[in-house]
Amino acid sequence: MAILRLDKFLSSQLNISRTDAKKLLRQKGVTVNGKSVVKGEFQLQTDNDVVSVNGKAVEYKEYIYIMLNKPKGVVSATEDSDDATVIDILPESLKRSGLFPAGRLDKNTTGFVLITDNGAFAHDILSPSHHVPKTYIVDVEREVSSDEFGLFEKGMLIGDELFKPAKLKFLGKNEVSNTFRYEIIIVEGRYHQIKRMFGSMGNPVVELERIAIGKLPLDRSLLPGEARELTESDIDLLKTR
Ligand code: URA
């Protein structure tokens, strides 16, 4: 159980500044267990106390976990002077301080980005020692030969970097764009990893989309740019190895 100052609780859970939280308290908009409280320093027991703002109960969440279907042109950062970030495009209802993307997709890569304010959880998902698989759909310019398949399976040396084995599956040819579609599962998250793997074989990546992190697939009901909070069972799936 956490013990938290009431003004801190209000600012973190309602995504408002500490000043606005204090204003809310002064306006007598806040009750704890049905009794009006005006002091920001009130010590709250997050497991037992019920906080209401203007008559509506506020659920306490220590951390938040968000699935974003990243569109093209958006960068996987918290702030950027040139481009919109994955945090900028979240709906206001999901925004709170301390959010960051747990792992990066390139600006022109689409799909599943996990956003959270839980650093330890993100570290677990990202830590190279945990080898959490990430699944992508990739469109490339030409068909992968059987020798090249072998390189993906064995792991490849690019420059002086050794890439761990990746699983590659042919999904089909797109007759319109004349590209070849594969599912690829990697267990590392190196810079431009998939583009470099195919690039090293002279086979440029045309499109790249992340469709799963670990056992948790991208929710296909999310349109590009849309996001939702993870459910308990989503979080369990993410933790399943
Ligand atoms: N590999 C890449 O090359 N780019 C990404 O965005 C993710 C994996």
- Return the CATH number at 159: 3.30.70.1560
Let me know whether 177 and 204 are in one domain. yes
User: What residues contact residue 85 under an 8 Å CB cut-off, 6+ apart?
Assistant: 74, 75, 76, 77, 78, 79
Let me know whether 118 and 190 are in one domain. no
Rounded to the nearest whole angstrom, what is the distance from the C-alpha of residue 114 to the centroid of ligand 1?
15
> CATH no. for residue 223?
3.30.70.580
Contact indicator for 154, 138 with CB cutoff of 8 Å = no
Residue in 68, 70, 74, 109 to alter for ligand 1 test, most ligand atoms within 8 A of Cβ? 109
The ligand 1 site (C-beta within 6 Å) comprises 105-106, 109, 192-195, 208
Let me know whether 117 and 80 are in one domain. yes
Distance CA 194, CA 208 (A): 9
Let me know whether 106 and 220 are in one domain. yes
The whole-angstrom distance between residue 175's C-alpha and the CA centroid of its chain comes to: 33
Let me know whether 69 and 52 are in one domain. no
Let me know whether 161 and 92 are in one domain. no
Whole domain around residue 98: which residue ranges?
65-127+216-238
Domain end among 38, 57, 76: 57
> CATH no. for residue 7?
3.10.290.10
Let me know whether 207 and 226 are in one domain. no
Rounded to the nearest whole angstrom, what is the distance from the C-alpha of residue 91 to the centroid of ligand 1?
25
pLDDT at 130: 81
Per-residue pLDDT of the chain (241 residues; tens, 9 = 90+): 789 999 999 998 988 889 999 999 999 999 999 999 999 999 999 999 999 999 999 999 999 999 999 999 999 999 999 999 999 999 998 998 899 999 999 999 999 999 999 999 999 888 877 889 999 999 999 999 999 999 999 999 999 999 999 999 999 999 999 999 999 999 998 999 999 999 999 999 999 999 999 999 999 999 999 999 999 999 999 988 7
Let me know whether 142 and 192 are in one domain. yes
Distance CA 84, CA 80 (A): 7
For atom 7 of ligand 1, the residue with the nearest CA is: 105
Distance CA 188, CA 4 (A): 38
What pTM does this model have? 0.90
Q: Provide the domain count of the chain.
A: 3
Let me know whether 16 and 84 are in one domain. no
Chain position carrying tokens 């306490």: 60
Domain end among 13, 30, 57: 57
Let me know whether 203 and 106 are in one domain. no
Specify burial of residue 9 (Cβ count, 10 A radius: 0-12, 13-18, 19+).
buried
* Of the candidates 73, 72, 131, 68, the residue with the CA atom closest to the CA atom of residue 102: 68
Let me know whether 197 and 172 are in one domain. yes
Cα distances (angstroms) measured from residue 12 to each of 17, 63, 113: 8, 10, 22
Contact indicator for 184, 109 with CB cutoff of 8 Å = no
Which H or E run contains 40? none
* Overall size of the chain counted in residues: 241
Active-site residue set: 106
Three-class SS of residue 229?
A: strand
Cβ-based neighbour number of residue 129 at 10 Å: 5
Let me know whether 205 and 143 are in one domain. yes
Query: From the alpha carbon of 192, which atom of ligand 1 is closest?
Result: 3
Rounded to the nearest whole angstrom, what is the distance from the C-alpha of residue 133 to the centroid of ligand 1?
13
For atom 4 of ligand 1, the residue with the nearest CA is: 192
